[in-house]
Structure 1
C-alpha cells in the first residue's frame, strides 16, 4: 500500500517510544516499513525526507475493542464494512485494531468471523485504512445478569466444541476472547483457549471475587471495559471489579469517554493498574464518526443522541475515538502525553503478546500543546 511518492525518511522534533522520548529522530523507511532509527545529529540529510521540525511523533494506536465506525459494523458479513471502519479509525490515529464481535446467532457469528478473517488476510483495504490484525470475540459466553445490550436469548454456555467452530471460521485470527468466568464450563474454556495462544479477558460478568480469581488462575490476562458490565465492589465482597483493580498483573481495558466512566473512576483505574497494565479502548460502534441517529450494533438498533449510544435502556458501545480517549485520560488524570500514548499502543500490544509498535511506519503527529494533528500510515501522511 505504498507509492513512489512515499518519503525515504522522516525527521521530527521528538519521537515517543516505549522506552522514552528520543529528540531529533531520523526514521529511515523502506517501502513503508521502518528500516532503522537514528538521530539527525548522527546522519546527513537524505533526499526525499519528510521534515516535521515542530512535531512529536508516537506509535499509531492499537484498539483491541471496537465494533464499528462510519455507519458500518464488523458483524455485517461484508468486507467493505470492515474497510469503512478501518478508514475512520485511521483518521483518528488508530492504525491497528481487533475487529470485535457481539453476541448473535451462532450462524451469524460464524459468517461474520469468516468475513473478518478474509479482510485480515487481504490486508488494509486502502492506503487510508488501518490494519485489522485480529478478532476480539466478545460474546456469546457472557453473564445474563451483566449482559449489557447483548441479546439474552443468544447467549451461550461456554463449550469447547462451539468455540472450536468459531475458531475454524476465523481461521486462526481470534486473538482475544471475553468471557464470564462464573459460567459453568468457563474455566475449562479459558484454559483451553489460553493453551492455543488466544488471550482471554474477563467481562460481562457477575462473578464474585473467588470466581474472578479462578478465571485469572485459569489463564485470563485482561478485563473488558473495567467498571462496565461487571459486579461491583463492596467492603466484604470485592466482586469482579475489586479483583480486576487489585490483581497486579492483570491488564484492564477502560472506555475513557466521561460517559461510561467518570473522571474519578478513571483516576482510580489508573492508580490501581498503573502505566504498565492500563489499556485504553473505544468500544466504538457504527455511529463513531457519524451524526446522531439510529445505527446497528450487530443486529441491534442503537439510538445515538448527544454522542450517547443506547439500546433498550442500556449503553450500547460508544462513539469514542482513540485520539479523544488519549486526550481525555490526560485531562482526567494529569498524566503526560508519552504516558497516555502508552495506554493506547504499548500496553494493548503487550497484552496480546505483540511487539510494542508495528513494523510499518505508522505514527501519530502531535503539536507542542499535545494535540494530535495527523497520522502517517505505512510511511505516507494521511490527508486531514
Structure 2
C-alpha cells in the first residue's frame, strides 16, 4: 500500500510504499505547501521501555497467562507503540521466574509478540527498602543484588532481560552492575536514595539510565544535594520521564528536560496494570477520576493510565521541544539505549509507523494519534473497552473492592 503524509522531521509531503511488513520506498510527494491543522503526518512508531500491564493484567502477576501477554502486548499499538519492554516490579523470586517465562512463552508462541517485545525490563527487586524511595513496591521482597538469582531470571526469560532498574546503594551493586553490563544488560538507577559519590560510582561501573527521574523518591526531600539533582547533573545518564501530567509538574518536567537535554530524554508510559480501566477502586489500587492511578486511599502514585501520546504533547507544550525532538524521545533514544537499530522512515526498515495530526496553533492538543502500523499491520489508535478475553478478569478485580 501507499500512504502520503507530511514527514515529521521536514514537514514535507512524503509518499511511503509498504510491502508486507517493510517500507519498500520513501519518495517526495506533491501537496499544499502551507501547513494546515487537518494535515496528517507520519513518523516511526513508539518504543515504550516501561509498561507494566493493562486492563487489570500485570506482568508481575503470579497467575499471568500466555494469552494475557499476547492480548496486552498487541494492544500497545492502540497507544502508538510497536516495540515495548514488558516490565515486572518487585515480587518474589517465584513470581519473577513465572512472569519472565510466561512472556518468553508468549514470544515463542506468537511471532507478532516476539517482534513487539524488544526485551524485558526488571524494575526491582534490588531497590531501596526505604519508604518513599521504594514507591509502591512490596518491602518484603526487596533485597540486595544477587547475580545468581538474576541469572535464574535471565535463563527463565530465554535471555530476554535487557534492562534492569536497581538502587546502587545496596550491598554488592557495583559488582552486579559491571557483570550485567558486560552481559549486555542495560542498568538503570531508580527507586534509590543513593548519594552523589555512590551514583557516580554506579555510572563508572556502567549504569546508563535514570528510571522515571523525579519519581520513586521520598517526600519531603533535602533541598540539595538529593538523588534527583545528582542524577540530573550526570551527563552519562539518560533519563526516562513519565510526562503524563501527574508524575511531574510542568516546572519540574521543563527543568529535567533542560538538564538532560532532549537527546538524553526517554519518554515512558509506566502504564499500570490498571491502564485503560475506568475510574474506581481495584483491590489495593485505584483509578482516580482525573486519570491518575494511586495506592487506594492515599495520594501515592502507582503507575500511569496514559500512553506515550500524552507525553509527546507535554514535551511540546511544557518543555518547548520541536516535533522531531519530542518524537525522538520515544523512538530514537530508547532504541539507542538498548543498542538496537534506530527506527527511521527509510526503505528497508520495518513498517512501524504512526500517523498523527499536528496543529502547532493548538498547543494542548498539538499531537493526536490517528493510526499505528506495526510490522505492516494497521491499528486505529484509541482506548477501547476491555476485550472479551480479559473482561471477566476485570470484573473480578472490581468485585474485590
Q: Does 1:137 align with 2:126?
A: no
Q: Matched residues in 1 for 2:41 and 2:272: separation?
A: 30
Residues 112-155 of structure 1 deviation map (CA, whole Å, 9 limit, x = unaligned) = 010111223344558xx981221000110000111111100111
CA distance in 2, matches of 1:326, 1:169: 35
The answer to whether the aligner puts 1:31 opposite 2:20 as a matched pair is yes
Does the CA-based 8 Å contact 2:135-2:217 persist in structure 1? no
Shift of 1:211: 0.7
8 Å contact kept, 1:120–1:134 = no
Structure 2 residue corresponding to 1:311, chosen from 295, 298, 310? 295
SS of alignment partner, residue 133 of structure 1: coil
Partner of residue 393, structure 2: none
- Evaluate the alpha carbon distance shift between residue 373 and residue 69 of structure 1 in structure 2; reply closer, same or farther with a 3 A threshold: same
User: Equivalents in 1 of 2:111, 2:303: separation in Å?
Assistant: 24
Match of 1:292 among 258, 268, 279: 279
**2:131 is aligned with 1:148:** no
Which residue, out of 246, 267, 278, partners 1:259?
Answer: 246
Change (3 A) 1:124 1:319: farther
Output the aligned Cα RMSD. 2.2
Count residues with an aligned counterpart.
355
Aligned equivalent of 1:367: 357
Residue number in structure 2 paired with 1:352: 338
1:243 to 217, 225, 230: 230
User: Which residues of 2 match residues 337-348 of structure 1 at below 5 A?
Assistant: 337-348=323-334
3-state SS in 2 of match to 1:99: strand
Relative to 1, partners in 2 of residues 1:174 and 1:138: Cα closer, same or farther, differing over 3 Å? same
Question: Contact 1:97/1:130 (CA < 8 Å) preserved in 2?
Answer: no
Kept in 2: contact 1:70–1:88 (CA 8 A): no
Does the 8 A contact of 1:73 with 1:85 survive in 2? no
Partners of 1:116 and 1:210 lie apart in 2 by 37
User: Which of 210, 223, 243 is matched with 2:210 structurally?
Assistant: 223
Q: Distance in 2 between matches of 1:325 and 1:85?
A: 20
Q: Which moved more, 1:261-270 or 1:308-317?
A: 308-317
1:336 aligns with 2:322: yes
In 1: Cα distance, 2:69 partner to 2:188 partner:
23
Cα offset, 1:231, TM superposition: 6.3
Q: Distance in 1 between matches of 2:251 and 2:245?
A: 10
Q: Which residue of 2 aligns with 1:74?
A: 59
TM-score norm. by structure 1 comes to 0.86
Q: TM-score, normalised by structure 2?
A: 0.83
Once the two structures are TM-superposed, the CA of residue 347 in structure 1 deviates from its matched residue by: 0.8
- Is the CA contact (8 Å cut-off) linking 2:134 and 2:217 kept in structure 1? no
- Counterparts of 1:170 and 1:67, CA distance in 2: 16
How does 1:64-213 map onto structure 2 within 5 Å? Answer: 64-76=49-61, 77-123=64-110, 131-145=116-130, 146-213=133-200
Q: Secondary structure at the match of 2:86?
A: strand
Q: Is the 2:352–2:375 contact (alpha carbons within 8 Å) kept by the matching residues of 1?
A: yes
Structure 2 CA distance for partners of 1:194 and 1:354, relative to 1, 3 Å = same
What is the CA–CA distance in structure 1 between the aligned matches of 2:16 and 2:338, rounded to whole Å? Answer: 26
Residue-by-residue CA offset, 1:59-93 (whole Å, 9 max, x unaligned) = 10111011011232222321222222224321111
- The correspondence for 1:15, drawn from 7, 32, 48, is 7
Q: Provide the rounded CA distance (Å) in 1 between the counterparts of 2:195 and 2:19.
A: 52
Q: In the aligned structure 2, how far is the partner of 1:368 from the partner of 1:184?
A: 49
